[in-house]
Amino acid sequence: MIRIDSVTKRYPDGTVAVDRLSLEIPDRSITVLVGPSGCGKTTTLRMINRMVEPTEGTILLDGEDIQGQPVTTLRRSMGYVIQNAGLFQHRTIVDNIATVPRMLGWGKQRARERAAELMERVGLDTALAKRYPYQLSGGQQQRVGVARALAADPPVLLMDEPFSAVDPVVRKGLQDELLRLQDELGKTIVFVTHDIDEAIKLGTMVAVLREGGRLAQYAPPAELLSAPADGFVEDFLGADRGIRRLSFFASAELDLTTDAVVPADATAERIAAVKAPHLLVTDPDGRPLGWAERTGLTAGDIATDRLLPFGRPFVPGTDSLRVALDCAVLSPTGWAVAVDGGGRVTGVVSQQTIGEAIRAAHTESRADKAGAGVAE
Amino acid sequence: MNILDFGNAFFSDSAHWHGYDGIPQRFWEHVQYSLLALAVAAAIGLPVGLLTGHTGRGGNALALIANAARALPSFGLLVLAVLSIGFGLLPVMIPLVVLAVPPILVTTYEAVRSVDPSPVDAARGMGMHESRILLQVELPVALPLILSGLRSAAIQIVSTATIAAYVSLGGLGRYIVDGLYQRDYEKVVGGATLVAVLALITLAVFWAAGRFAVSPGVRRR
Ligand SMILES: Nc1ncnc2c1ncn2[C@@H]1O[C@H](COP(=O)(O)OP(=O)(O)OP(=O)(O)O)[C@@H](O)[C@H]1O
Ligand SMILES: [Mg+2]
């Protein structure tokens, strides 16, 4: 565990970048430092690997003061990833990744094998191994940066706005990749960003800093969204935090109905039995084709070319309530289509039912918190 | 007669191709003076430029000294050196080295300063020692610029090493000095041509060194 204990950083010009900050960074999880520009995120991160020395306070790594060991030893136990990747232009990709192992005295062959293994890990084609950094896209360079930081398998990974210089689509890919990687590797990651959505998506814990390097709130993302500590955090979270909070509620328990789901060759009795104004028509495999109005349907042969589009389906259990609600809002009938992993319809659900589920989830989480409060 | 005829006459005279005053001998002497001066200047300019560039300290003092050194006339320096230490190789080396150090020093300093700071930051963050950062991260990227500093120093040395002849040493300057004295213009033109040829060879050598020593990742092709 990394423990930041009442740390202050005052630069020689008098700027107080970090002010009596205390944080406990749990092992094997992603802790995000987020806040507006100039609030001391980079300074905090760089104090952990002693690129910046604190003016006051101490930082403990597994209970020991980080001042206690040589600075190079400390840094070699922490991977470091920066905004523009900071690759060595004169070295090939594989040699960039092999840098730390080589520094630790590994043989060339072994270091290269390790580098190739890491390229696969971070989703890079090993055919790129012999290229130079200028021959890679920004997103690929960033992956190399992550691979290089992981090369000697350090327990800690420090990342300073690693994904902020790439376009939103690539950024989403990199974020998903990081989460997948973290599932496999279980590193202690400290991640700096100024993007609150990124913080909420990636963080197990999120520390919101405000100008002057003071801690505004330190909480799991769901708690941040449901109970911002003050107006500053609330403003920083943005207007639609209620909707975003739904990302943390599962859609598994939604009350689905199969009543209105009919195959294209349904009988007249089957169609007559539907009470809802719309029917979801499926193909023989049970995959959705589209919505039909109940009135004026011909039994035995529903005209599948005149159906309303069914929009985007969601997968109960995998997707959150936010996704389910989004599907219902986008659906021309106001009903969301639920499918299983194979794309076969498992039922449909109305906006109203989703709304009830949201209210229930809110009540439940309030009750949880109250219960936890009593237990403490 | 025009210059081409002078040159032609000089180079077609077989007497000019051997002996202690022959072209190969004078050419070789000139190469030796130049290499020695360049080596000494690089031994001073490179380490100082690399270190100041890496730490970022002393840049102003450096520029001041370099400008002062540039303002010194080589010939005046030669005369002064001869007057104070007598004839020999040393008084010739002094003006040549003084001439060559500023371009090497200043371009090396600038080259290291202009290296992208983020790889350096990354290297430091991964626990690389400062000496390694300088030699394995900054130097390879700064190399093209450093080579260009060495190249312009080398060209200046090659053309200025002719002054060795004024203090009765050899080199290609012999032809120019003697030719002027004897009003033998064939010799003057021949000597000047040879200096130009050596300058071109120097350019070629540095071009080859650049191809060989600079990483394709830095050359970007
Ligand atoms: N070396 C330095 N000397 C003086 N002041 C500095 C130095 N580095 C940072 N600061 C100041 O300290 C404050 C915090 O800087 P820091 O880089 O930690 O912010 P940040 O949260 O990372 O900002 P950003 O999101 O823009 O990267 C800023 O006011 C900055 O100007
Ligand atoms: Mg920053």
Question: Are the CB atoms for A288 and A328 separated by under 8 Å?
Answer: no
Total length of chain B: 221
Averaged pLDDT for residues A56-80: 95
Q: Is the dihedral of CA A260, A261, A264, A265 positive or negative?
A: negative
A301 pLDDT more than 70: no
Beta bridge partners of A288: A282
Both tokens of A17, joined, read 């970048």
Which protein residues are within 6 Å of ligand 1, measured from CB?
A: A 11, 13, 15, 17, 37-43, 194
Check pLDDT > 90 for residue A300.
no
- To 5 degrees, how large is the angle CA B75–CA B40–CA B133? 135
Provide, for chain A, the percentages of residues in helix, strand and coil under a 3-state DSSP scheme, each rounded to the nearest 5.
Answer: 40, 25, 35
What pLDDT, on the 0 to 100 scale, is given for residue B168?
85
The alpha carbon of B133 and the centre of ligand 1 are apart by a number of angstroms equal to 24
Atom index in ligand 1 nearest the CA of residue A161 equals 27
d(CA A132, nearest CA chain B) in Å: 5
Grade residue A172 by pLDDT with cuts at 50, 70 and 90: very high
Please give the distance of CA A304 from its chain centroid, rounded to a whole number.
39
As a whole number, mean pLDDT of residues B173-188 equals 93
pLDDT at A79 over 80: yes
- Listed residue (A213, A193, A205) closest to A1, CA to CA: A205
Q: What letter represents residue A350's amino acid?
A: S
Question: How far is A178 from A176, CA to CA, in rounded Å?
Answer: 5
Q: Using the 8-state DSSP alphabet, how is residue A320 labeled? A: B
In SS3 terms, B167-195 reads as: HCCCCCHHHHHHHHHHCCHHHHHHHHHHH
pLDDT of residue A275: 82
Query: Average pLDDT of A198-214?
Result: 95
Coil, strand, or helix at residue A298?
coil
Q: Give φ, ψ of B136 to 5 degrees.
A: -110, -15
Q: Which residue has the tokens 């523009």?
A: A84
**Angle at A50 (CA atoms; ends A48, A56), nearest 5 degrees:** 80
Task: Report how far residue B26's alpha carbon sits from residue B19's, in angstroms, rounded to the nearest whole number.
Answer: 10
Indicate whether B123 pLDDT > 90. Answer: yes
pLDDT at residue A374 tops 50:
no
C-alpha A246/C-alpha A261 separation (Å) is 27
Which atom of ligand 1 is least distant from the CA of A45? 18
Task: Among A42, A51, A192, A214, name the best residue to mutate to test ligand 1's pocket (greatest count of ligand atoms within 8 A of Cβ).
Answer: A42
pLDDT class of A299 with cuts at 50, 70, 90: low
Chain B residues touching A86 at Cβ < 8 A = 116, 118-123
pTM of the model: 0.86
DSSP A53: -
Ligand with minimal distance to A82 CA: 2
Least confident window among A91-100, A202-211, B12-21, B35-44: B12-21
Query: What is the pLDDT, as a whole number, of residue A371?
Result: 63
Task: List, edge to edge, every strand of the sheet that includes A30-34.
Answer: A78-81, A156-160, A188-193, A30-34, A205-210, A214-219
Closest ligand 1 atom to residue A46 Cα is 18
DSSP bridge pairs for A159: A81, A191
- CA neighbours closer than 13 Å in the CB half-sphere of residue A308: 16
Tokens of B137: 């991260």
Give the residue whose CA is nearest to atom 14 of ligand 1: A40
Q: How many CB atoms lie within 10 A of CB A259?
A: 14
Q: In the prediction, which pLDDT does A215 show?
A: 97
Instruction: Identify the DSSP state of A83.
Output: T
pLDDT at A238: 87
A98-106 mean pLDDT: 96
Question: Is residue A56's pLDDT more than 80?
Answer: yes
* Pairing of the two strands A16-25 and A2-10: antiparallel
Task: Determine the pLDDT at residue A239.
Answer: 81
Minimum distance, in Å, between the CA of residue A282 and any CA atom of chain B? 55
Confidence check: pLDDT of A196 > 90: yes
- Rg of chain B on CA atoms, in Å: 21
pLDDT exceeds cutoff 50 at A375: no
pLDDT above 60 for B81 = yes
CATH fold label, B23-215: MetI-like fold (1.10.3720)
Q: Binning pLDDT at 50, 70 and 90, where does residue A307 land? A: confident
Is residue A132 within 8 Å of residue A156, measured between CB atoms?
no
Percentage of chain B with pLDDT > 90?
77
> What residues have their beta carbon closer than 5 A to ion ligand 2?
A 42
Three-state DSSP state, A304: helix
Q: Which of the four pLDDT bands, split at 50, 70 and 90, describes residue A376?
A: very low
Our CA-based measurement puts residue B150 at a distance from the nearest CA of chain A, in whole angstroms, of 21
Query: Residues A130-171: pLDDT tens digits?
Result: 999 999 999 999 999 999 999 999 999 999 999 998 999 999
Q: Return the amino acid letter for A194.
A: H
Give the span between the Cα atoms of A364 and A335, in whole angstroms. Answer: 25
According to the model, what pLDDT value does residue A365 have?
78
Of all residues in chain B, the one with the smallest CA distance to A132 is: B217
As a whole number, mean pLDDT of residues A281-307 equals 81
pLDDT at A55 over 60: yes
DSSP reduced 3-state for A70: coil
Residue A91 with chain B: CB contacts under 8 Å: 215, 217
Determine what percent of chain A is predicted with pLDDT higher than 70: 97
Which tops the pLDDT comparison, B148 or B65? B148
CB contacts of B220 in chain A (<8 Å) are 132, 134
